[in-house]
Amino acid sequence: GSCWGNSVERKIYIPLNKTAPCVRLLNATHQIGCQSSISGDTGVIHVVEKEEDLNWVLADGPHPPYMILLDGNLFNRRVMLQLKGTSRVSGLAVAPAKPSPPQGFSPGLKCPNDGFGVYSKDYGPQFAHCNKTVWNPLGSGLSYEDFDFPIFLLEDANETQVIKQCYQAHNVPRDGSGPEYPLCAMQLFSHMHAVTSTVTCMRRSSLQSTFSINPEVVCDPLLDYNVWSTLQPINASGKVDPGKEVIILATRIDSHSFFWNIAPGAESAVSSFVTHLAAAEALHKASDTHLLQRNIMFTFFQGETFDYIGSSRMVYDMEKDKFPLSLSNIYSFVELNQVALRNDSTLWMHTDPVSRMNDSVEVQVRNLLDVLSNSSVGANVTLQEVGHSQPLPPSSFQRFLRARHIPGVVLTDHRTSFQNRYYQSMYDTPENIRMQYPEGLSPEETLEYVTDTAKSLAEVATVVARALYRLAGGANNTSAIQADPKTVARMLYGFLIKMNNSWFQSIIKPDIKGILGDVPQHYVAVSSPVNTTYLVQYVLANLTGTVVNLTKEECLNPEKTPSSEKEMYEYAWVQGSLDPNSTSRVPYCVRSTVHLSKALSPAFELRQWGSTEYSTWTESRWKEIRARIFLVASKELEILTLVVGIAILVVSLLATYFINAKADVLFSTPRDPGAVAY
């Protein structure tokens, strides 16, 4: 029966398999995103490729509600708010614009993470709410709107073409009048379980967990792990000596867009954390790092897009003595923000004008700026200061400043507003940071090909590594400290184009090889660690760790080996590269100082779901997400079919009743005339 049913379904429906939904996210006060009704939303397809096509949907078309196939160039705030204000639209499928919209597109906010950085009515009120500088002027805030109909992204151009063909064959208006039935329709399923706000959904989930045997959780906090390591090993489960000074180098590793798990983040995240990884490798190759008077900590924050989840958690842990470092150990803070779109090879050094009013902080910041500037001499990078009157751009450093006046600098490719015209959007792709490969390269050749972008980011990494070496007290000539463009090229390929490549395969543990999907996305999500976190962890271990001669058993259980210094190092048994002469791999053991620490907002530890101090973002749960198209008959035909069906049912019931009532007459056996009774 089920096989027959499935084959009937296949004849009726064409499933759309390569789609990405817009889902519901919630914070302390709002819900944002999209959802369908519980049984999915259906509508007649109308293709909208220019603004005039909207008139048919909003006014003229005789067959509402409509499912719109929207050209990516029209996917903007003005059009979306028009569609939001009508009951004639039941959903939206967006075909991405190719090439990316030349005018730019950012569904993020004009003032990212507003209210959760350092500036407020009590600290630099003149800088609060981006009063001085609007960082993301192209930000439409579309990702932060609440839509009561489903919106899906069509990732496959072939599926988009199938929908257009179905529309052309059945739905195109003829001579200004409506098309004839049957019509091509689309159905989108994306019903969300959580409503209103994080406060409401967490309370419901909490009540369910308390009183129900099978609790139904309706939302989950956005969470993951921060990745961190140190130049000189420290006891990760102990406390660093209060007198030991540490310099922090930081970046974010997550991004976001309007659609769930579509977050390429080339300029907003990848360019900076790849530069950071290259700088870490360059420093570890220096011969005298064990002699430096100050330690250097490499920190990769997760969840920063959503009101600084990772950095606020690390600061909280430092304040509560749940982290090896305390805030008082931090000598200075250097953050790499967006760095790939430099004009005239200039990098801008942003500092906090409020804390610099303190004389001792000013002296340390001045020293920091001088060391950075001097480190760029001879490199193809020019470092310039931003004026005293400008605040810090959105950055993890702001969360540290909220807790303590730490001398710090944020390095970016923009002096005022972002150079990135596709901040937090699906178009923040390798093309956005001008990554170009020659035609006809194999995947392996593409992995190894050094693009101009890779060379430029390696130069930034070199300057940063040399500056950190000087800040840590290094006295030798820094010309030997050099980031490797080949490593940067491999990382850009792996984090932006294809995760499942030979290098990534060789440096991860065998039990997590399933994380190597195809196109990389850098959304923080709710199930952790996500692919990006794992890969940053293993790339950092590969670039900064050492191969040790341990067996698999010793590597997996280092506490059994007396010389392992288990509390100082992490050990990983990785797959290794393929043996050239066979299909088997040559695994080995890597010892590094790379650790993970929780990136879950303190609001959820403290159960303060309405917090204004910490991030409160949650993601709704859902049952199913799918999309399909099919032909739909007219209402009249559907009603006629129903009436005829009911009539046939009634006639058959009556016939059955009468036949049953007269069964003895109709089905009695006639007597044999030849039979003789005695």
Mean pLDDT for the stretch of residues 550-576: 89
Question: 497-543, pLDDT tens digit by residue?
Answer: 999 999 999 999 999 988 888 789 999 989 878 899 999 999 999 99
Structural tokens at position 436: 């170009």
Question: Do 528 and 568 belong together in one domain?
Answer: no
| Short-list 384, 310, 372, 305, CA closest to 344 | 384
Given a cut of 50, is residue 1 above it in pLDDT?
no
- How many CA atoms does the CB half-sphere of 138 hold within 13 Å? 17
Question: 169-218, pLDDT tens digit by residue?
Answer: 999 987 767 788 899 999 999 999 999 999 999 999 998 888 878 888 99
Given a cut of 60, is residue 5 above it in pLDDT?
no
**Residue listed under structure tokens 């980031």:** 483
Confidence (pLDDT) at 678: 52
Please state, in angstroms and rounded to a whole number, the distance separating the CA atoms of residues 18 and 158. Answer: 10
Distinct helix (H) and strand (E) counts, the chain: 18, 24
28 falls within a domain: yes
Name, in order, each residue with C-beta under 8 angstroms of 317's C-beta and a sequence gap of 6 or more.
323, 597, 598
Question: 231-271, pLDDT tens digit by residue?
Answer: 999 999 899 999 999 999 999 999 999 999 999 999 999 99
Q: Which burial class, exposed, middle or buried, applies to 421 when counting CB atoms under 10 A from its CB (0-12, 13-18, 19+)?
A: buried
Q: Which burial class, exposed, middle or buried, applies to 639 when counting CB atoms under 10 A from its CB (0-12, 13-18, 19+)?
A: exposed
Structural tokens at position 52: 């005039």
Question: Do 390 and 380 belong together in one domain?
Answer: yes
Question: Do 187 and 245 belong together in one domain?
Answer: no
- The alpha carbon of residue 421 and the mean position of all alpha carbons in its chain are separated, in whole angstroms, by 18
Average pLDDT, rounded, for the chain: 93
Question: Do 315 and 395 belong together in one domain?
Answer: yes
Mean pLDDT for the stretch of residues 554-580: 88
Rg of the chain over all Cα atoms, to the nearest angstrom? 31
Please state, in angstroms and rounded to a whole number, the distance separating the CA atoms of residues 521 and 497. Answer: 10
Mean pLDDT for the stretch of residues 651-677: 79
259 falls within a domain: yes
Sign of CA dihedral 465, 520, 268, 32: negative
Choice between 316 and 212, residue whose per-residue pLDDT is larger = 316
Sign of CA dihedral 542, 486, 266, 275: positive
Sort strands 223-230 and 295-301 into parallel, antiparallel or unpaired: antiparallel
Sign of CA dihedral 142, 145, 149, 154: positive
Confidence (pLDDT) at 672: 63
Question: Is residue 526 within 8 Å of 260, Cβ to Cβ?
Answer: no
Structural tokens at position 566: 């288990």
657 falls within a domain: no
Question: Do 177 and 233 belong together in one domain?
Answer: no
Q: Which burial class, exposed, middle or buried, applies to 668 when counting CB atoms under 10 A from its CB (0-12, 13-18, 19+)?
A: exposed
| Short-list 142, 186, 632, CA closest to 422 | 142
Please state, in angstroms and rounded to a whole number, the distance separating the CA atoms of residues 276 and 458. Answer: 10
Domain range for 487 is: 223-496+506-544+593-600
Question: Do 12 and 44 belong together in one domain?
Answer: yes
213 falls within a domain: no
CB atoms within 10 A of CB 330: 20
Question: 343-371, pLDDT tens digit by residue?
Answer: 888 999 999 999 999 999 999 999 999 99
Question: Do 108 and 154 belong together in one domain?
Answer: yes
Name, in order, each residue with C-beta under 8 angstroms of 534's C-beta and a sequence gap of 6 or more.
508, 512, 515
34-68 burial, b for 16+ CB within 10 Å, e for fewer? bbbbeebbbbbbbbbeeeebbebbbeebebbbbbb
Any bridge partners for residue 174, and if so which?
177
Question: 51-67, pLDDT tens digit by residue?
Answer: 999 999 999 899 999 99
Question: Do 427 and 444 belong together in one domain?
Answer: yes
CATH code of the domain covering residue 371: 3.40.630
Confidence band, pLDDT 50/70/90 cuts, at residue 486: very high
82 falls within a domain: yes
483 falls within a domain: yes
Please state, in angstroms and rounded to a whole number, the distance separating the CA atoms of residues 292 and 298. Answer: 15
Please state, in angstroms and rounded to a whole number, the distance separating the CA atoms of residues 416 and 402. Answer: 22
Edge-to-edge strands of the sheet including 89-95? 14-16, 626-632, 183-189, 41-48, 66-71, 89-95, 151-154, 19-21
**How far are the Cα atoms of 7, 46, 173, 187, 193 from residue 53, in angstroms, in the given order?**
36, 9, 11, 21, 34
Question: Is residue 506 within 8 Å of 537, Cβ to Cβ?
Answer: no
Taken as a whole, the chain contains a residue count of 678
Question: Do 525 and 562 belong together in one domain?
Answer: no
Cα–Cα–Cα angle for 53, 261, 436, rounded to 5 degrees: 80
1 falls within a domain: no
Structural tokens at position 424: 């937090």
Confidence (pLDDT) at 671: 64
Structural tokens at position 449: 């090909």
Question: 388-431, pLDDT tens digit by residue?
Answer: 889 999 999 999 999 999 999 999 999 999 999 999 999 999 99
**Residue listed under structure tokens 């950075």:** 372
Q: Which burial class, exposed, middle or buried, applies to 608 when counting CB atoms under 10 A from its CB (0-12, 13-18, 19+)?
A: middle
Question: Do 550 and 530 belong together in one domain?
Answer: no
**Residue listed under structure tokens 């605040």:** 391
Number of domains in the chain: 3
Question: Do 540 and 554 belong together in one domain?
Answer: no
Helix (H, G, I), strand (E, B) or coil at 42: strand
| Short-list 549, 473, 539, CA closest to 290 | 473
Question: 587-646, pLDDT tens digit by residue?
Answer: 999 999 999 999 999 999 999 999 999 999 999 999 999 999 999 987 787 788 889 999
Question: Is residue 163 within 8 Å of 26, Cβ to Cβ?
Answer: no
Question: Is residue 602 within 8 Å of 312, Cβ to Cβ?
Answer: yes
- How many CA atoms does the CB half-sphere of 195 hold within 13 Å? 5
522 falls within a domain: yes
Confidence (pLDDT) at 433: 94
Question: Do 526 and 583 belong together in one domain?
Answer: no
Please state, in angstroms and rounded to a whole number, the distance separating the CA atoms of residues 297 and 387. Answer: 28
